[in-house]
Amino acid sequence: MDWIKWTWVLFVAVSVAILVRFFVWLLPATAIQHASDVDAAVRGIEAASESLPESPVAEVPSETPEAPGPRRPPASPAIPWPAADPDATDLWDSLYAEMWPLPKPAPAVEPEPPEAFHLRRIRWGMTGAEVRAAESLTPLRENAQSLTYLTTTIHLPCLLTYHFTRDRLVRAHLSFSDVAGRHLPPLSIAQAQRRFLFLREQLRQRYGEPMIHTTRVPRDVTALQRRLQKQDELTQQYDVEIAEVEERLRQQRARLNTRYERWQRREELVARGLAPYERDLRDLKKWKQEALETAKQARQDIHHHQQADARTPLVAVMIARWPFARELHDIDLRLDLRSQVPRLDIRYRAARPALDTVGMDEL
């Protein structure tokens, strides 16, 4: 068994020797040349240091006498460092550059500036085809002067209309309320006011403080005035009817008293004959009193409305304007409460001169 073990050890040693020889044979010629160059440089430096003459060292007299004590060994003479061999320096630099090459700096790539849009993904002056490509939606309506889309802005549904002049985009209109109710649900007054405040804040953060204009109107008292006028007319009519019924009642009483003058139950018969007239008279007086009360209430309501107008008049139209915003466009945010369905719109107009004013008569 021992001879098998030694045979295996000998086989491994021979294999390692063959592999070492093989790797030495495969070693690149540049590495061998580098080693030869390094050895030659070292030998050149040693030869230069041996050929230098010894420089005498001048004795520097000591200004102060040495204190008694053990003597120190004399300082060794200063040997100057041999001058650097330019060939050897270039060799080391070339070796260093080849063995550890510096990474080449990547070329500076200037970032492309973001594409500037004026509204959504459009720019003023675009053609109709360019606007269609930018929106990538199917328009609800389109013609040579406008394009209308059903879309959303800041998660709010709206009708977006682009207006063109000579196939150049000059205006845009965002409507958040559809009066017809075909494409958008109608807004209540509270919804319209809340969305107006939200949109105004969004535009304020983007374009700064706006110019605010508010149109106020007095409260509508037309219906109350008509009611008061009607009740006054009814009161006058009731006065005329009551006077006529009272006159008929007087005449009827006289006739019945004459007719039943000799009857034993004269009072009962007269009262029975006058009952219809008295009933009509009571009804007329009751209706007159109701008319008077209704007219009084109408006068009070009118007075309350006038006092409320003096304190806080109603808002009819609220407008927030950003004229010449960022030198790009004029912006109007408008809330109109005068109609039955409130209207909320944002209107953009390009702040540019007319595209073609040649031949225009300014007068």
In the predicted structure, residue 67 carries a pLDDT above the cut 60:
no
Task: Compute and round to an integer the Cα radius of gyration of the chain.
Answer: 56
Q: Answer yes or no: pTM beyond 0.75.
A: no
Same domain, 195 and 257: no
Task: Answer whether 185's CB lies under 8 Å from 166's CB.
Answer: no
Domain that holds residue 198: 128-215+315-350
Q: In this structure, are 343 and 278 located in the same domain?
A: no
> Within this chain, do residues 177 and 248 fall inside the same structural domain, yes or no?
no
pLDDT (0 to 100) of residue 39 = 66
252 and 302 share a domain?
yes
The answer as to whether 47 is a domain residue is no
* Claim to verify: residue 295 and residue 341 sit in the same structural domain: no
**Beta-carbon count within 10 A of 293 CB:** 11
The string of pLDDT tens digits covering residues 227-254 is: 999 999 999 999 999 999 999 999 999 9
Residue 73 has pLDDT above 90, yes or no: no
324 and 260 share a domain? Answer: no
Per-residue confidence (pLDDT) for residue 68, from 0 to 100: 46
Q: Are residues 319 and 307 in the same domain?
A: no
pLDDT of residue 246: 92
pLDDT reported for residue 55: 44
Domain contains 204: yes
pLDDT surpassing 60 at residue 57: no
Residue 45, in any domain of the structure: no
Domains held by the chain: number: 2
Largest CA distance in the chain: 184
Shared domain for 211 and 244, answered yes or no, is no
Establish if 138 belongs to a structural domain.
Answer: yes
Residue 323 half-sphere exposure toward CB, CA atoms < 13 A: 2
Residues 227 and 299 in one domain: yes
CB–CB of 241/284 below 8 Å?
yes
Could you please report the per-residue DSSP string of 145-156? Answer: SEEEEEEEETTE
Considering the domain architecture, whether residues 244 and 277 belong to the same structural domain is answered as: yes
Q: How confident is the model at residue 79, as a pLDDT?
A: 47
Low-confidence winner among 37-41, 148-152, 167-171, 290-294 (lowest mean pLDDT): 37-41
In a domain, 40, yes or no: no
Classify 9 as helix, strand or coil.
Answer: helix
How many other C-beta atoms can be found within 10 angstroms of the C-beta atom of residue 70?
4
